[in-house]
Amino acid sequence: MFKRKRVRFSILFVLHICVTLAALTAQADWQEVGLRMGIQAGPKREYFHQYEAFAVYGLPWSWRLPSGWGLEPQLNTAVGTLVGGNETGFIGSVGTGLSFNKPGNGIALEAGVNLNLLDRRQFGQQDFGSILLWGAYVGFSYRLTGGLGVSYRIQHVSNNRILYTSCTPNPGVDMHMIGFSWNF
């Protein structure tokens, strides 16, 4: 059972590193920077909220229809604080995402996966089981004229028990995140 989890973790980790390295070596450009804040989306042992600064690096590949709508891959990064159980800790993330959008102003649908790092695994009574966590999100953003943007996403962060035994806690946390950004 543990070998299967190790193989699953290895495959996901290698894919994550390959996509990230491909993103760093490709010619692309920064698309967006901003701030996000969020509140917990369900009951847990502790109440959580999060604040972060983020940046989105657009990759050079895209798949577009003649109408202009299409998929655009991105590299996402964020650093911030996670607050819960009367404790405040660091949370950082890097990952890849896809945006279904049309260039210029308007709405975009987004989804992605992240690798997250915490400075502690326990916040009050809530034990995440590890400081290295996986995350996933879905959401949407709206780009206004002049570069400003607003966004909403629901995100999940947990250790997914990929590298850990079934005895390791895996509570995770779901967050409603609202963002304000500047688009380039």
Q: Given CA atoms 58, 73, 116, 9 in this order, what sign does their dihedral have?
A: negative
pLDDT in tens, the chain (184 residues): 556 656 666 666 666 666 666 555 555 688 999 999 999 988 777 899 999 999 999 988 889 999 999 999 999 999 999 999 899 999 999 999 999 999 888 999 999 999 999 999 889 988 888 888 999 999 999 999 888 999 999 999 987 766 666 666 677 899 999 999 999 8
pTM equals 0.81
> Rounded distance, CA 74 to CA 140, Å?
14
- β-partners of residue 100 are 71, 109
